[in-house]
């Protein structure tokens, strides 16, 4: 693995901070990191209308990326060598995402957070063979939010994401377009895809295949933001909107801006009803959050976005001249249906547990693609309780999990028995929720629009190694 010399030395404090966290060192603080690469901004694509349908033509491919000067790293990407474009959708439009697989192995492409029919979900059943094209065609019908796409290949999701497959999906609606929030893509509305990686001395991605990786998930010692090491971003002295995605395999981030508060405006699947000042936002893998950073009057200053879990620097924001476009954060962002537990017809319980080395299960069973675990009536409210119960008969391993449900957007009613423990970024519509060891959450769930007794959706832990090792189940909407 990459050591403290050569490429590792280029990373300085950022690499050491992540490495210390990974290895369990008592040293968690870090000196300010050096930021020397301009932040890459993924291309934004809006598709092409053909016969009344907006088409997005996307190629899943191999490539070569240069994370370190002069060092060629084999990677995978979509329409490019690493990661993929930001797909811009609008509510009400019929779209077709056409995925061509130019890899030498089978993959899938899942629209994470998308509300769509099971046959268009891109889960383990909608495989794309090498050379084949698969299309997800549906009408966009959900509130404005930031979603993403990634492989969901049975037993290989972790490795395929680690190689570089993934990208953002922005959904606009009339409400979001009318808000005075920053919305100039890549200028004051900035995507931030957070990932951690290990590099070999030759510069390739290293992915250790051992029991520690299976049980605790992959952790790297180098942080990438939009595929950029040690990035900085030059911005105007105004309001800046940061759209955060934790696209790491397993790592949890606590994102803060040194010396500044953040205004939280959105979580996974919706705006919050009202903005809220926070000092940090915690994101487990696959979770998203949108925050506003107020940089008015700060010309010539620098603000560091940092991960408080590891001490690693995420991004240095360099503030330039005053903003050219006036934006603001309104006191009201959206209206959400009130979460009323009394409307639930039934309760379902999901116990996430390690039964032994490499044996990761939900309700005692590992994933079987030929088994349907739950039948969910269309349109009915239910309470789903998800619990991280550790190993064996109550023995705790200190293992993080989270819980993701396909195709629906739930509300979190309680965390560990308390409404007050639901965190600010968990108060809108969600599709993924963090479960630290011993955590239990109560979710209000309702599946609407799409019934299909044969084609299932998934629920699972989104620590990708846990998902691949069997911590996943299937349900049909009937």
Give the pLDDT band of residue 397 (cuts 50, 70, 90): low
Give the pLDDT band of residue 19 (cuts 50, 70, 90): low
- Convert the pLDDT of each residue in 102-114 to its tens digit: 999 999 999 999 9
Helix (H) or strand (E) holding 46: none
d(CA 149, CA 165): 8
Q: Determine the average pLDDT of the residues in 343-368.
A: 94
- Convert the pLDDT of each residue in 261-316 to its tens digit: 999 999 999 999 999 999 999 999 999 999 999 999 999 999 999 999 999 999 99
- Find all residues with CB under 8 Å of 294, minimum gap 6, and list them: 239, 260, 263
**SS3 of residue 467 by DSSP:** helix
- Convert the pLDDT of each residue in 315-347 to its tens digit: 999 999 998 899 999 999 999 999 999 999 999
What's the Rg (C-alpha) of the chain? 21
Lowest model confidence (mean pLDDT) among 129-133, 211-215, 245-249: 211-215
Is 463:357 a contact under the CB 8 Å cutoff?
A: no
pTM (2 d.p.) = 0.93
Helix (H) or strand (E) holding 213: helix 211-216
Structure confidence at residue 32 (pLDDT): 45
């Amino acid at each position: 693995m990459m050591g403290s010399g050569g490429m590792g030395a280029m990373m300085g404090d950022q690499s050491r901070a992540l490495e210390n966290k990974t290895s369990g060192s008592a040293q968690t603080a870090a000196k300010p990191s050096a930021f020397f690469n301009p932040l890459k901004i993924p291309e934004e694509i809006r598709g092409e209308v053909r016969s009344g349908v907006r088409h997005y033509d996307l190629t899943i491919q191999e490539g070569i990326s240069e994370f370190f000067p002069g060092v060629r790293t084999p990677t995978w990407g979509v329409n490019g060598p690493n990661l993929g474009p930001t797909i811009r959708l609008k509510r009400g439009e019929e779209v077709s995402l056409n995925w061509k697989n130019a890899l030498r192995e089978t993959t899938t492409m899942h629209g994470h957070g998308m509300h769509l029919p099971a046959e268009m979900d891109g889960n383990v059943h909608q495989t794309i063979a090498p050379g084949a094209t698969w299309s997800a065609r549906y009408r966009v019908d959900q509130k404005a939010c930031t979603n993403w796409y990634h492989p969901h290949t049975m037993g290989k999701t972790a490795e395929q994401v680690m190689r570089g497959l993934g990208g953002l999906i922005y959904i606009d609606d009339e409400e979001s377009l009318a808000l005075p929030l920053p919305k100039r893509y890549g200028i004051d509305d900035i995507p931030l895809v957070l990932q951690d990686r290990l590099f070999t001395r030759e510069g390739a991605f290293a992915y250790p295949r051992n029991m520690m990786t299976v049980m605790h998930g992959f952790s790297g010692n180098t942080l990438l933001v939009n595929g950029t090491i040690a990035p900085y971003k030059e911005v105007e002295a105004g309001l800046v909107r940061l759209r955060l995605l934790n696209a790491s395999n397993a790592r949890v981030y606590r994102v803060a801006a040194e010396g500044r508060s953040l205004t939280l405006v959105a979580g996974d699947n919706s705006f919050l009803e009202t903005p809220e000042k926070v000092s940090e936002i915690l994101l487990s893998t696959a979770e998203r959050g949108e925050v506003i950073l107020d940089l008015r009057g700060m010309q010539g200053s620098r603000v560091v976005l940092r991960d408080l879990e590891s001490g690693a620097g995420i991004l240095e924001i360099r503030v330039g001249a005053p903003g050219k476009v006036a934006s603001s954060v309104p006191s009201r962002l959206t209206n959400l249906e009130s979460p009323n537990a009394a409307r639930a017809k039934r309760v379902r319980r999901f116990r996430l547990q390690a039964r032994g080395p490499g044996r990761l299960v939900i309700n005692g069973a590992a994933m079987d693609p030929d088994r349907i675990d739950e039948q969910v009536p269309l349109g009915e409210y239910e309470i789903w309780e998800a619990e991280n119960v550790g190993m064996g008969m109550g023995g705790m391993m200190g293992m993080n999990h989270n819980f993701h449900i396909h195709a629906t957007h739930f509300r979190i009613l309680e965390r560990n028995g308390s409404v007050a423990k639901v965190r600010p970024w968990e108060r809108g519509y969600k599709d993924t929720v963090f479960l630290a060891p011993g955590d239990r959450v109560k979710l209000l769930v309702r599946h609407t629009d799409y019934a299909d007794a044969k084609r299932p959706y998934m629920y699972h832990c989104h620590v990708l190694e846990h998902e691949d090792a069997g911590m996943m189940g299937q349900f049909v909407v009937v």
